Amino acid sequence: MTTILLADDHAVVRQGLKALLEDEADFTVVGEAGSGLEAVRLAGELKPEVLVLDIMMDDISGIEVAREVRENSPGTAVVVLSMYGDRKHVLEALQAGAKAYVVKKSVTSELIEAVRQVLHGHRYLGSSVSDIVVEAYLEKEKLGPADPYDLLSSVADSGTLPHGTGLGNRILATLSRRGSPEVPDSSRSARLAMFLAGTALGALARIRSA
């Protein structure tokens, strides 16, 4: 059974999320937090597998909660569920350690999919925010070195291979249209190709050398 902690400062939202998530036979909500500090405390006490977290909280922000959970409860994957889908909030959440980002106006299936993806060690971006990651990568491409591998290496934190987003292919296609240099056929480029092929966070991931 997958254990989930909910953190949102509106009780009615938490009630709705609990009903939605527990409609899945293998999900159970083990706790609810109405503030950021309570979310950090409960994450440490309950050690849930997933924290579904709003960004706007009464005391500390969800961004700070994500940082605290990353440092103190590394076994808990953070899924941000927010009304904000703008560049600033999305990138800050991902850089703070969130494994997934879904906008509240999205279809409910996106939240379910986000939880399942982070459980398998993947990352997930809702359909309404994935373009933000592409744009962030392309801006780095304009300002940084010509080698796409080096560009990816410098953007943010580590990434993995979620399914079905096609973001890596979109980035490669855009680079091709812009006439970016081809990446040489080597183990280095092979790792880049494998990363980009499926990652939803390819634009924000630092690929660490083995």
**pLDDT tens readout for residues 14-27:** 999 999 999 999 99
**pLDDT tens readout for residues 58-108:** 899 999 999 999 999 999 999 999 999 888 999 999 999 999 999 998 889
**pLDDT tens readout for residues 35-45:** 999 999 999 99
For residue 113, tell me if it sits in a domain.
yes
**Lookup: tokens for 204:** 């924000």
Whether 10 and 81 share a structural domain: yes
Total structural domains in the chain? Answer: 2
Paired residues of 102 in beta bridges = 81
CATH number assigned to the domain comprising residue 47: 3.40.50.2300
pLDDT at residue 153 is higher than 80: no
Whether 143 and 65 share a structural domain: no
Position 141 scores a pLDDT of 60
pLDDT at residue 188 is higher than 80: no
Whether 138 and 121 share a structural domain: no
- Predicted confidence band of residue 144 (pLDDT cuts 50, 70, 90): low
In the chain, what percentage of residues exceed pLDDT 90?
55
Angle at 89 between CA 209 and CA 139, to 5 degrees: 55
Report the pLDDT averaged over residues 102-119: 93
Position 192 scores a pLDDT of 44
Paired residues of 3 in beta bridges = 28
Whether 140 and 103 share a structural domain: no
For residue 164, tell me if it sits in a domain.
yes
Whether 102 and 135 share a structural domain: no
CA-wise closest residue to 80 among 60, 56, 59, 54: 54
Question: Widest CA span of the chain, in angstroms?
Answer: 54
CA-wise closest residue to 113 among 162, 180, 76, 74: 162
Report the pLDDT averaged over residues 188-206: 42
Position 8 scores a pLDDT of 97
Conformation bin of residue 130: beta by default, left when phi > 0, alpha when psi is -120 to 50: alpha
Whether 20 and 106 share a structural domain: yes
For residue 29, tell me if it sits in a domain.
yes
Report the pLDDT averaged over residues 117-136: 86
Q: Kindly list the distances between the CA atom of residue 208 and the CA atoms of 56, 150, 170, 199, in Å, as whole numbers in the listed order.
A: 32, 11, 22, 15
pLDDT at residue 161 is higher than 90: no
pTM of the model: 0.69
The interaxial angle of helices 167-177 and 130-143, nearest 10 deg, is 40
Question: Residue 89 sits in which domain range?
Answer: 2-125
Report the pLDDT averaged over residues 28-37: 98
For residue 210, tell me if it sits in a domain.
no
CA-wise closest residue to 149 among 187, 97, 200, 96: 187
